Amino acid sequence: MPAAVRETAFASGPQSNMHRDDYAGATSCQRCHPQNYDKWLRHPHSRMNALAVEKNVLGRFDQSQSIGYRGGRAEFYRDGDEFRMRLTRDETTIVYHIRETIGSRFFQYYIGRMINGPYPATHPYFQVNHVLPFGYWLSRETWVPVVHVGRELPDNEREDPFAPPLVPTPGLNFTPYASNCNMCHTTFPMGDELTRKPHQVAKHAPFVLHWSMAAYFQSQHPDMWGNLGNPEDVPTESIDYIPLRLMEHEGAEHAVAMGIACEACHLGSREHVANPRVPPDFHPHSPFLFVETNHDELQLGRNHQNVNWACGRCHTGERP
């Protein structure tokens, strides 16, 4: 961290509430806060992102379920304990294995990978979890094309789900879930979020934050850091690959919890779980985080700035 920052900003550490080991998990809240836990369990946040298993899948998957669209037909069925989406038009058949779910309030969308289709097995459609082209409208109990994922155009101008482009453009006509969605739909350590979605985190931050990203990588992601040495001596271009790798982190493997769990807003609360007399902090702190503030000390409590910021870290942007 530059000396000028150390002179003008608060050192928020040495304690931390934003590293992976600081998170205790939602079930640890249940013993002392059973009503809060039950409310959360019934809230859509808890099911914002989940593995595609029986208890989490709300769409109907059986031989009667299909939708005609743009001259083709999409069918939704089971293969043993797994869920499938099959798209057929003319001589082309595409089959997806559904691996995760998105949402439970109005619609449920699905994330998966192609397991059959006119592309090589090394293609991203086969290798990368991505948002699939049809979702389930819960109140009307019917299948519909997904919206607010790609470009919003009239149906005949939208991306054709029966003919995905051979060379897709991520974020435009191909939506990898990890790099485009799960940083808000899934609970990751706040330290990772400062790297994975810095603009969203910063947009409503009440104060200026200085983040020693390289030192954090060395401490919390030693597998990525490798033998790079002292963070202060490593040029930026030598670590540019690490944020890109973090963006590809799948929630099922790397998240603190699937969905929006308690600590997505409360931040890491392991210290509070160990000693209930220590209240959870609503402002992130870490040995790697310095904060410029006009207060005499860092404001860690449940004040309006911290609470609003907790919401604003995800509920911001231009989508309707």
Label residue 43 exposed, middle or buried (CB < 10 Å: 0-12, 13-18, 19+).
Answer: middle
Measure the N-to-C terminal CA separation of the chain; round to a whole number of Å.
39
Mean pLDDT score across all residues of the chain: 93
Name the percent of the chain lying above pLDDT 70: 99
For position 302, what pLDDT does the model report? 87
Whether the per-residue pLDDT at 319 is higher than 70: the answer is no
Q: How many CA atoms lie within 13 A of 53 on its CB side?
A: 5
296: confidence class by pLDDT, cuts 50, 70, 90: confident
- Determine the distance from the C-alpha atom of residue 73 to the mean position of all C-alpha atoms in its chain, rounded to a whole number: 30
- Nearest to residue 210, comparing CAs of 298, 92, 301, 82? 298
57-66, 215-224, 226-235: least confident range: 226-235
Residue 13 has pLDDT above 90, yes or no: no
What is the arithmetic mean of pLDDT over 3-25?
A: 90
d(CA 193, CA 120): 33
Sheet with 289-292, edge to edge strand ranges: 10-11, 289-292, 208-211
pLDDT in tens, 114-170: 999 999 999 999 999 999 999 999 999 999 999 988 888 888 888 999 999 999 999
Q: Pick the more confident residue, 318 or 34.
A: 34
How many CB atoms sit inside 10 A of residue 224's CB? 15
d(CA 115, CA 98): 10
Q: How does residue 189 score in pLDDT terms, banded at 50, 70 and 90?
A: very high
Q: What is the pTM of this model?
A: 0.91
Q: How far apart are CA 271 and CA 299, in angstroms?
A: 18
Burial code of 180-214, b = ≥16 C-beta within 10 A, e = fewer?
Answer: bbbbbbbbbbbbbbbbbbeebbeeebbbebbbbbb
What count of other Cβ atoms lies within 10 Å of the Cβ of residue 312? 16
